[in-house]
Chains A and B, each alone.
Chain A
């Protein structure tokens, strides 16, 4: 596992707002293009992405829609707690329980306790055995509407103020279910996508409902716990992948979904279910040829996945270059294309 010794992200490089609220178009964020064959790194603007793609290439996007997944709840003693459901199966949630205000430290619940949440009641059934920071919670009544009425988008410390949910949605967001934005695609506009279509660069969409990227516990996060996420690869998407010249995954969620749907002959098949596939240098992608992604801190599991695509030296050079050139980090930041 690659470590970046002494690596530190200057705080001002954390994007604290979406591009549009920084006074620019979402497709005008920066794009770093990493060519693995030549080892070259090119700096450009996201809306130029088509210059690096060819007719016959296929962009695969995650059309999961982001939910307002920070849900206010109240314990029996009247104290407020915020639930962040990471895995939802009907009225069964596996949720983080944190304080309602920054820094959102974990709140220990008690098995058997009752919570008032989103207009209904819920029972805490206990901790999840594999990820003890997630609480198994059973709601008395099911319903996405409760969550949509009560929740706010999950927001981390580098985003100081509330941001309306629509800024967390990609322009192709369709199927509701992600706890956090599948952010690699936030830079796409339909103007860019339709322009790519005209050049013979097609798009297909899969669904992967994202879980939480952080358990609000640095030591625990550093252990890179993986857990299941719901995904769907349609017949249409599988066929498009089969026809494609190169398959460019927009986001690591797409890599996870497509690589889960690969059969033993190396073909992507239509498939839906829960995936706990871990992409890492030990599990190299079989169908994904290239990746569009954001910049995240090397402590994140995201970085381990990147090493399945890019060797350590080049990745280190890319990250150092991004800091030197003041690229912005995190979900509202700049992007990279790994070819």
Chain B
């Protein structure tokens, strides 16, 4: 219950779904939490849950599209906790639903998905990794998707954005080799979240993992080095259940 004791974690998109589950799992493992999301009320509710789990929490209402908000998130976290050990780039935009084919995709929506899913993680990771290099340790986890490697009709912009995020992660991992700072991309698999329901309204929740289960993979990856840069959450959970 203390795999992350005293570690400072910053989780984006933490007001619901996987972000919320990761924040709560980190809190239960002893981490100090900075969480951000656009919706103040939902974010505050998660902050209360994190507090109830016994963790210090800083809730920052922010839109990762906005570079001023990115600076706010980083500066406020560093002011509050003096360091950032773990960054989870979880905030993500699916795009318009029902999911349109690329040939029908509104170009502005395409831009927006790339902004949220690629440009924002780049900017935020850059600011955070700079300070992690100064402290000579840290871990960044980017939330990827199966759609990064497989083409599914309708998932166009999202798929492109996650493939780009994988590419960002790959290059960055090479550049950070030997520095004490590591970066991973994790495909969480299909989960029972609002995003998944929007993408695939017909899916049966019975077939889907609960974000709370998947969050354990993030705890594991945040607390122990792993040789793979990109991995599926499931593989970490299977290792754990065998252990």
A residues with CB within 8 A of B: 63, 65, 67, 144-145, 148-149, 164-166, 169, 171-176, 190, 193-194, 205
- Residues on A with C-beta less than 8 A from B83 are 174
**CB-contact partner of B79 in A63, A175, A190, under 8 A:** A175
- CB-CB < 8 A to B78: which residues of A? 65, 174-176
Q: Which residue of B lies closest to A172 (CB)?
A: B134
Interface size class of B (residues with CB under 8 A): 10 to 19
Contacts of A194 in B (CB 8 A): 133, 179
Taking a contact as CB atoms under 8 Å apart, the answer to whether A176 and B131 are in contact is no
Is there an interface contact between B75 and A148, defined as CB atoms closer than 8 Å? yes
Which residues 52-87 of B have a CB within 8 angstroms of A?
60, 67-68, 71-72, 75-76, 78-79, 82-83
Binding site for A on B (CB under 8 A): 60, 67-68, 71-72, 75-76, 78-79, 82-83, 127, 130-131, 133-135, 179
Q: Which residue of B lies closest to A63 (CB)?
A: B134
Partner of A172, one of B67, B71, B131: B131
Q: Is the CB of B67 within 8 A of A144?
A: no
Contact A145 B72 (CB under 8 A): yes
> Across the interface, which residues of A come within 8 angstroms of B179, CB to CB?
194
Contacts of A67 in B (CB 8 A): 75
Q: Decide if B133 touches A190 in the complex (CB within 8 Å).
A: yes
Bound complex: CA of A136 vs CA of B207, how far in Å? 63
Knowing that A172-B133, A175-B78, A190-B130 are A-B contacts, what are 14 other residue pairs whose CB atoms are under 8 Å apart, sorted by A's residue number? Answer: A65-B75, A144-B75, A144-B79, A145-B60, A148-B72, A148-B76, A172-B130, A172-B134, A174-B83, A174-B130, A174-B134, A175-B79, A176-B76, A193-B133
* B71 partner residues in chain A, CB cutoff 8 A: 148, 165-166
Minimum C-beta distance from A273 to chain B (A): 17
Q: What are 16 contact pairs spanning A and B, CB under 8 A?
A: A63-B131, A65-B75, A65-B78, A144-B79, A148-B72, A148-B75, A164-B67, A165-B71, A166-B67, A169-B127, A172-B130, A172-B134, A173-B131, A176-B78, A176-B79, A190-B133
